[in-house]
Amino acid sequence: MAVRPIIQLGNPVLRQPSRPVEQSQLEEVRELARDMFETLMDFRQQYGYGRGIAAPQVGVNLRVVVMALDGKPLIMINPRILRHNGKKELFWDSCFSCPNLWFQVERYNQVTVEYRDMDWQLRVTEAQDGLAELMQHELDHLDGRQAIDLVKDTSSFCTTDEYFSRHWQDKER
């Protein structure tokens, strides 16, 4: 396992759509997922927040997302949103690829996501509120979209310290 460098905003790799994973690539994806989880946990230790990372953020153009839910990894291979409830709301967002910057984005507050797990089993999960926002954020990375593209009002930009001092209300970092 290894902590991988995180690709920063402006690098063209982040704007490229990712390739689907084939079942024959599972061993490669296992190693990638372990490294992504380690990278995610390292980021959390350095910055004090972070719940998910997409493969393009570590320079790999595959449709893989790793999230830390209750301290455990959730690995999503070839995830896609099946449906949403049609209701959008404003969420505070940040990104490992532009650390120390927070902003408001508008996203669906409920989504249903289909993905393959590490045993290549097809899974479907429903997410609401902050988890729904996180899943949309990470899946956007797989399509070459950045959260910063969704900023509704540039006056919402703030640093991590300012965000935590004004907006943090017992939410999981």
Tokens 């507050």, residue located: 109
Tell me: the pLDDT tens digits for 105-130?
Answer: 999 999 999 999 999 999 999 999 99
Neighbour-count burial of 149, counting CB atoms closer than 10 A to its CB (0-12 exposed, 13-18 middle, 19+ buried): exposed
Active-site option among 31, 38, 106, 138: 138
How many CA atoms lie less than 13 Å away from 45 in the CB half-sphere?
7
Ordered structural domains, the chain, with CATH: 12-167 (3.90.45.10)
Per-residue pLDDT tens listing for the chain (173 residues): 799 999 999 999 999 999 999 999 999 999 999 999 999 999 999 988 899 999 999 999 999 999 999 889 999 999 999 999 999 999 999 999 998 899 999 999 999 999 999 999 999 999 999 999 999 999 999 999 999 999 989 999 998 888 888 776 544 44
Element (H, E) at 135: helix 129-142
Q: Is 38 a residue of the active site?
A: no
